[in-house]
Amino acid sequence: MWPPDWLSAAEWQVVGLSLKVSLWATLCSLPFGIAAAVALARGRFVGKSLLNVLVHLPLVLPPVVTGYILLLTFGRRGALGGFLHEHLDIVLAFRWTGAALAAAIMAFPLMVRAIRLAVEAVDPKLEQAAATLGASPVLVFFTVTLPLILPGVIAGTVLAFAKAMGEFGATITFVSNIPGETRTIPSAIYAFLQVPGGEDSALRLVIVSVIVAVGALLASELLARRVAGRIGRS
């Protein structure tokens, strides 16, 4: 019978919402992560140092500060949030989409760093050789660079997913802890620990969180090895 009854309906709802938020956060930030990583690894432009600071800022800022900045920016009265609400009818604050945004921002530095290291490991002469044969920069990236950095992309994606699954401070500040809407696994664990008798539910969610994280890391390692093996044979 599905879902298994070792979790309550409310707990399964929390797990499902956490997976939804983490997947959207990871997938939506991946193109930007690759672009930022390539720019930082290969680019020579004014403002590169500033871009590097902005990318890594969520790592050093307290998560609550990041969440408050998001609330000021994307809240209904914020500079961007007000525009999105009035003109596009998009609301992020206190919605699951806002939780995905907060998780994506907090996970972004880890994704970019893993991909950037992979880009820096690629021999530029391979890209230059493809360019001398008449390939455009875009074609060089998709036919040479991207296949070579794919293990790093996989590693960065999994790191970002795991970070998004565990994000708490920025999320609870920006979107609160609303059951069925923004209550992810970390905020649910926190909520269960605040009420008498909630320890069992918190423990079950901790176990689920560990299982998902370990499974994601093992899958990442397997995929990265397979991709690296194919690259080595080509």
Nearest residue to 107 (alpha-carbon basis) of 63, 147, 149: 63
Q: Using the predicted structure, report yes or no on whether residue 226 has a pLDDT greater than 90.
A: no
Structure-block tokens of residue 216: 């994601």
pLDDT 10s digits, 7-55: 888 899 999 999 999 999 999 999 999 999 999 998 888 989 999 999 9
pLDDT 10s digits, 95-143: 999 999 999 999 999 999 999 999 998 888 888 888 888 878 888 899 8
- pTM equals 0.89
pLDDT 10s digits, 140-182: 899 889 989 998 999 899 999 999 999 999 999 999 999 989 9
Residue 228, pLDDT score: 67
**From CA 169, how far away is CA 66, in angstroms rounded?**
8
Structure-block tokens of residue 131: 């360019």
Rg of the chain over all Cα atoms, to the nearest angstrom: 20
Residue 36, pLDDT score: 96
Residue 233, pLDDT score: 61
Q: Are 151 and 227 in contact (CB under 8 A)?
A: yes
What confidence tier does 90 reach under pLDDT thresholds 50, 70, 90? confident
**From CA 27, how far away is CA 29, in angstroms rounded?**
6
The answer as to CATH 2.40.50.140 being correct for domain 11-121+135-233 is: no
Residue 33, pLDDT score: 96
Nearest residue to 224 (alpha-carbon basis) of 166, 158, 134: 158
**From CA 171, how far away is CA 185, in angstroms rounded?**
11
**From CA 72, how far away is CA 48, in angstroms rounded?**
26
Residue 1, pLDDT score: 47
Q: Are 70 and 174 in contact (CB under 8 A)?
A: yes
What confidence tier does 231 reach under pLDDT thresholds 50, 70, 90? low
Nearest residue to 184 (alpha-carbon basis) of 161, 150, 215: 161
Residue 87, pLDDT score: 86
